């Protein structure tokens, strides 16, 4: 079982990751092309699954010579900040919040409504980001020993959840490329 726990979960998760790119990304590309509120719920749901996957990965017991993530938790938090910013920016973009900030219609929102809209909405997204930081910042007990079925399941589900979030991020990047295609860029020809 020890060999299976080491090699099989990444292979299964990567195979599922490729399937996610073909199965999840195309419908999300179509969905994210319209700036509607449900997009924030979709990204938030996938982000919640991603956070759950990170918890599962943090519960895995280290092997001999493995890195104790609890020792480097502040590095993990620091490295997670760009990703948190990207998720918040993506949510704000796919629902049209970034466009609406520039033009606030006084006929629809009074001063108090505009204040609530401009302050509470980004604050809720920041809270979502802080939840992910908290998952990385607090010490997590490693409850899945390496030679158990639980380790195999946690590793497979955790890595698959991370790959699922990568498919969602790729869908968002695809929408950004469609909206803002850099003309004449050599990067576009490579893709």
Q: How far is CA 142 from CA 38, 155, 184, in A?
A: 36, 12, 50
Mean pLDDT is lowest, of 19-28, 88-97, 170-179, for: 88-97
Q: Is the pLDDT of residue 189 over 50?
A: no
Q: Is the pLDDT of residue 116 over 50?
A: yes
pLDDT of the residue at 69: 77
Q: What is the mean pLDDT of residues 142-158?
A: 88
**Top-confidence residue, 4 or 145:** 145
pLDDT of the residue at 164: 94
Q: What is the mean pLDDT of residues 44-62?
A: 91
**Top-confidence residue, 85 or 68:** 85
3-state secondary structure 25-45: HHHHHHHHCCCCCHHHHHHHH
Q: Name the average pLDDT for the chain.
A: 81
Enter the pTM of the model: 0.81
Q: What is the mean pLDDT of residues 112-136?
A: 76
**Top-confidence residue, 117 or 16:** 16
Cα gap 48→54, rounded to integer Å:
10
In angstroms, the first-to-last Cα distance of the chain is 40
**Top-confidence residue, 100 or 141:** 141
Neighbouring residues of 147: CB distance < 8 A, sequence distance ≥ 6: 1, 2, 5
pLDDT of the residue at 122: 76
pLDDT of the residue at 151: 87
pLDDT of the residue at 105: 57
Mean pLDDT is lowest, of 89-93, 96-100, 154-158, for: 96-100
- Long-range CB contacts for residues 9-14, cutoff 8 Å, separation at least 24: 9/152, 9/155, 9/156, 9/159, 10/155, 10/159, 12/156, 12/159, 12/160, 13/155, 13/156, 13/158, 13/159, 13/160, 13/162, 13/163, 14/159, 14/163
pLDDT of the residue at 104: 58
**Top-confidence residue, 121 or 27:** 27
143 alpha carbon, distance to own chain's centre: 24
Q: Is the pLDDT of residue 127 over 90?
A: no
């Amino acid at each position: 079982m020890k060999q299976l726990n080491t090699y099989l979960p990444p292979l299964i998760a990567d195979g599922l990751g490729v399937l996610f790119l073909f199965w999840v990304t195309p419908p999300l590309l179509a969905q994210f092309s319209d700036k509607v509120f449900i997009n924030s719920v979709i990204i938030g749901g996938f982000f919640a699954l991603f956070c759950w996957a990170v918890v599962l990965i943090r519960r895995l017991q280290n092997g001999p010579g493995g890195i104790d993530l609890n020792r480097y938790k502040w590095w993990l938090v620091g490295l997670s900040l760009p990703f948190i910013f990207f998720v918040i920016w993506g949510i704000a973009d796919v629902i049209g919040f970034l466009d609406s900030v520039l033009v606030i219609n006084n006929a629809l929102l009074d001063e108090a409504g505009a204040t609530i809209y401009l302050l509470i909405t980004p604050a809720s997204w920041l809270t979502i980001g802080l939840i992910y930081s908290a998952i990385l910042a607090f010490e997590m007990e490693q409850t899945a020993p390496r030679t158990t079925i639980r380790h195999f399941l946690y590793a497979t589900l955790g890595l698959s959840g991370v790959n699922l979030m990568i498919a969602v991020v790729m869908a968002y990047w695809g929408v950004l490329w469609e909206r803002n295609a850099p003309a004449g860029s050599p990067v576009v020809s490579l893709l």
